[in-house]
Structure 1
């Protein structure tokens, strides 16, 4: 019997940590013996998904013995029509994070550099490092991307740049003209990935609509997802919009059946329910405004968020507050895992959940 594993892993993954998601409700109930727990940790849609998506899932259940279509042609065709782009410009993925994986798998070579913010979505860094690439991080300015600093970081080894807009975990955006100027200045041989996972939540008019510029910049990639405002996080379905030549490269390295039948059917139906999306955006805006006002009343500050979450400055250990809130049955995200150790990130919930969070936070801070 072998008592010790002496098989070495690839050098590139030796120092990579395991991704830590927000704690599941079921786990907290088991660990703490609580009956009522609310989860505001993973930027999920508290309103669920569209009734049309639910109906589509039920109908598709009769086909679970059959493999899905490999390229999700019906979904890509519908997305192309809705977004005003050519169908050849779209690739679907097992969440938009799979598109990140496909991009680095296709284009990052050992020693290549990828520029990103410090702090931003952690999977950019992980996927670059898995392929043997080197991450170059540029500190945020007041929680927002320093695009000028990112331009200065470009050199002959730069292969890819990531801009998360709105940024996770801070929720900030970069201005329309600032981002367009950045797109113009990035060298054409460098792939520029703009992650718009929270696109539908943005209410600010000073936000660049990137898709009209795809035809002019062949190095531009835009990522979006059905996990957030469409409420399909459990089904893992996202997509990338980019030049057809990039799509063809990614198709070579993607798994044959990377998006399942239920996810494809639900996403197609979700695109028809604009009323649901608009309602979710409005409710999120109301909830975000409420939390911002309450946080200010308590005497705390936060980054100016344009997404479905807020990052709150505590002037004390975010992990301690996270643990204390957990005991109150409220799951948030500790900033210690997100690069800001004296913060917590809280997702916008229903108004009932938002109120419960504020009550628990005041209790925890008072204690």
Structure 2
């Protein structure tokens, strides 16, 4: 069947998600496995969101609002932009794909960090583009090196900020210097899936850059701090011209009614989101302390996950954790495992089991 496929897709290594809890429990014959592999919010959506979903259920016989009128209006108000500056997607991943569909010609280059979100490479290859992975510096996007890597074939640059899987950020001055150094006809995408967790005051102000009429697109999602990963909804903010181009390649009804309703309700849960951020920060500090007690190095994070250095023990440690019902990610960076910051009980169980594994 490969003879029938487009040649460019034969090079693609399919995305491998973290194992679902149910699959691990079936395979191991256990109960109460915990998933710390996919950077999800460990808490259920707030009551107000669940109530809004339940109230809408009798109307599922109707197609969704194709343009997400009420959600777009709420986001426009939240960020101080116009409706024309916004687009909704089935997760921010879909908007990334729309960007390559709308702007990338075969053979043109897409730049991204070499240890970053794997989908940048995949969506580039799908469109027949040339993926260019620029090495990170100290586990962080090296923007000066990326600026030097730009050629006359460069069309799009993806910057994961915070970066997945390292949790590091580029700061506002670095971002502004980067925009100054890069050609204005290159589209720069800030993938800010974990922005709501950031505590660093020097985090870039992407909206200001967009308002300066640069070819910049900011991506965000409801999957992380809003606890809506299962509903797949995200959004992009950019100039009306860029958004209009994305709209040309967007499939109709790409976000479901339930996802729109839930996302809209979640925007009203500001106190709840602040509490989630506080709990994440508390869990992060706890894990830092416990890892230091075990003599383990880690990368300080601005997100809801931590990259832990385990050397040549990383893969085996991940396997052993899995056998103990704890799902983490390995293989993203050779000598590390990535662990989502969970509930306090989940964090304690992870620390206890990891400590026992490393003592063997």
Structure-1-length-normalised TM-score: 0.96
Q: Which of 154, 157, 171 is residue 161 of structure 1 equivalent to?
A: 157
Equivalent position SS for 2:311: coil
Indicate if the aligned counterparts of 1:188 and 1:217 stay in contact, CA closer than 8 A: no
Equivalent position SS for 2:227: coil
Q: Which of 186, 196, 202 is residue 198 of structure 2 equivalent to?
A: 202
- Partner deviation per Cα, 1:103-125 (whole Å, 9 max, x = no partner): 00111111000111011001111
- Partner deviation per Cα, 1:61-111 (whole Å, 9 max, x = no partner): 111010001111110110000111111100000000000000001111110
1:177 aligned partner: 173
Q: How far apart in 2 are the matches of 1:230 and 1:112? A: 35
Q: How far apart in 2 are the matches of 1:33 and 1:186? A: 54
Q: Which of 131, 135, 141 is residue 139 of structure 1 equivalent to?
A: 135
1:87 aligned partner: 83
Q: How far apart in 2 are the matches of 1:111 and 1:94? A: 27
Equivalent position SS for 1:169: coil
2:359 aligned partner: 366
- Partner deviation per Cα, 1:127-159 (whole Å, 9 max, x = no partner): 011100001111111110000000000110000
Q: How far apart in 2 are the matches of 1:25 and 1:159? A: 39
Q: Give the drift of 1:316.
A: 1.7
Q: Which of 208, 231, 235 is residue 227 of structure 2 equivalent to?
A: 231
- Partner deviation per Cα, 1:155-183 (whole Å, 9 max, x = no partner): 10000001000000000011221112112
* 32-41 vs 256-265, which moves further: 32-41
Q: Which of 247, 250, 263 is residue 259 of structure 2 equivalent to?
A: 263
Q: Which of 234, 239, 243 is residue 239 of structure 2 equivalent to?
A: 243
Indicate if the aligned counterparts of 2:2 and 2:10 stay in contact, CA closer than 8 A: no
Equivalent position SS for 2:133: strand
Equivalent position SS for 1:160: strand
Equivalent position SS for 1:14: helix
Indicate if the aligned counterparts of 1:224 and 1:238 stay in contact, CA closer than 8 A: yes
Indicate if the aligned counterparts of 1:75 and 1:268 stay in contact, CA closer than 8 A: yes
Instruction: Verify: 1:348 aligned to 2:341, yes or no.
Output: yes
Indicate if the aligned counterparts of 1:287 and 1:349 stay in contact, CA closer than 8 A: yes
Where do 4+ consecutive residues of structure 1 move more than 6 Å?
none
Instruction: Verify: 1:285 aligned to 2:281, yes or no.
Output: yes
Indicate if the aligned counterparts of 2:296 and 2:310 stay in contact, CA closer than 8 A: yes
Structure-2-length-normalised TM-score: 0.98
Once superposed, what is the RMSD of the aligned Cα atoms?
A: 1.0
1:307 aligned partner: 303
Indicate if the aligned counterparts of 1:317 and 1:341 stay in contact, CA closer than 8 A: no
Indicate if the aligned counterparts of 2:283 and 2:341 stay in contact, CA closer than 8 A: yes
Q: Which of 37, 46, 49 is residue 50 of structure 1 equivalent to?
A: 46
Q: How far apart in 1 are the matches of 2:50 and 2:348? A: 28
Structure 1: tracts of 5 or more residues without a match: none
Indicate if the aligned counterparts of 1:163 and 1:195 stay in contact, CA closer than 8 A: yes
Q: Which of 231, 249, 252 is residue 253 of structure 1 equivalent to?
A: 249
Q: Give the drift of 1:6.
A: 6.4
Structure 2: tracts of 5 or more residues without a match: none
2:10 aligned partner: 14
- Partner deviation per Cα, 1:280-317 (whole Å, 9 max, x = no partner): 00000000111011111101111111000000000124
Q: How far apart in 2 are the matches of 1:254 and 1:325? A: 40
Q: Which of 46, 49, 74 is residue 70 of structure 2 equivalent to?
A: 74
Assess, with a 3 A threshold, how the Cα gap between structure 1 residues 150 and 33 changes in structure 2: closer, same or farther.
same
Q: How far apart in 2 are the matches of 1:29 and 1:50? A: 26
- Partner deviation per Cα, 1:191-242 (whole Å, 9 max, x = no partner): 0000000000001112112112212133000000000000000000000000
